[in-house]
Amino acid sequence: MNSEAATVRPYVMRDRARTTAETGERILEAATQLFVEGPFSQLTLAAVAKRAGVTVQTVIRRFGDKEGLVAAAAQRGHAAILAQRDRAPVGDLAAIVDTLVDHYEAAGDIALRLLAEEGNSAQIAAITSAGKGYHREWCDRVFAPALDGLTGVGRRRRLAQLVAVCDVYTWKLLRRDAGLARREVAIALQELLEPLTSTTTAPPTADHREGTTP
C-alpha cells in the first residue's frame, strides 16, 4: 500500500461512518414522525423507509423488525429527555417548570401517543413504564426541598401530587385541550405547584399522616 492510499482510506472510512449515522438518524426520525401521526398498527417498515428515503432492506439491516425500530427510536428519545430534563435545578420552581414545559413542547405529543398505544405492544409498555419511573424519580429529586420533613403516607401523597401536576396529561389539558399558550401553561403549572412546594405549607395532620380519617 502506498502512502497516498494509506492517507485516503481513513477519510473514506470516516465518510462512510458519517453517512451510515445520518441514515440511521433519518430512519429513526421518520419512525418517530409516523408514530405520532397514526396508530402503531399502521406503522410499517415500508412507510418508514419511504419517509426516510431508503429501502426497506436498509431499515431491516439497521434495526431488524418493527419492535426493534421502535426500541431504537425510544432509546434515542430517552437520551434526549435525560439531556434536557436533568438540567432542571433542584428547588428552583420557575426553572423546573420552564424545563418541564420545554420538554413537553418538544416531546409531549410523542409521550401521549406512547401512552395511548401501551396496551398494543409489549415494547411500548416497557417504554412507558420506564418513562413513568423516570418522571417520578425526577419529581422526587427536583422537589426534594418540598419533601424534606415529610415521612410515610404524607410524603408519598405529596410526591404523588407533584407527579400528577407535572404529568404530561396535565400539560395536555392546559396546552391542547384548553388552548393555552406556552407561557400561560408555565404560569398555570407554577400556580398549581406553589402550594405544594412552599416551605410555609402546613404539614399533614397526624391522623392524615397515618392515612386514617378523623
Q: What's the pLDDT tens digit per position in 120-140?
A: 888 889 999 999 999 999 999
DSSP state of 1: -
CA trace torsion 71, 75, 81, 86 (10° rounding): 140
**Among the three residues 64, 86, 106, which one is the final residue of a domain in this structure?**
64
- Which CATH number is 54's domain given? 1.10.10
Question: Taking the model in full, what pTM does it have?
Answer: 0.76
186 shares a domain with 173: yes
175 shares a domain with 79: yes
pLDDT digits (tens, 9 = 90+) for 158-211: 999 999 999 999 999 999 999 999 999 999 999 999 999 986 554 554 444 444
* C-alpha cell at position 181: 399558550
**Among the three residues 19, 36, 64, which one is the final residue of a domain in this structure?**
64
119 against 3, higher pLDDT:
119
Total domain count, the chain: 2
Given a cut of 60, whether residue 6 has pLDDT beyond it is: no
Q: Which residues contact 95 (CB under 8 A, 6 or more apart)?
A: 88, 89
- Ranges of H-type helices in 86-151: 93-117, 122-142, 144-147
- Domain of residue 2 covers 1-64
Q: At residue 192, what is the residue type?
A: L
147 shares a domain with 195: yes
182 shares a domain with 119: yes
Across the range 145-161, mean pLDDT stands at 97
136 shares a domain with 40: no
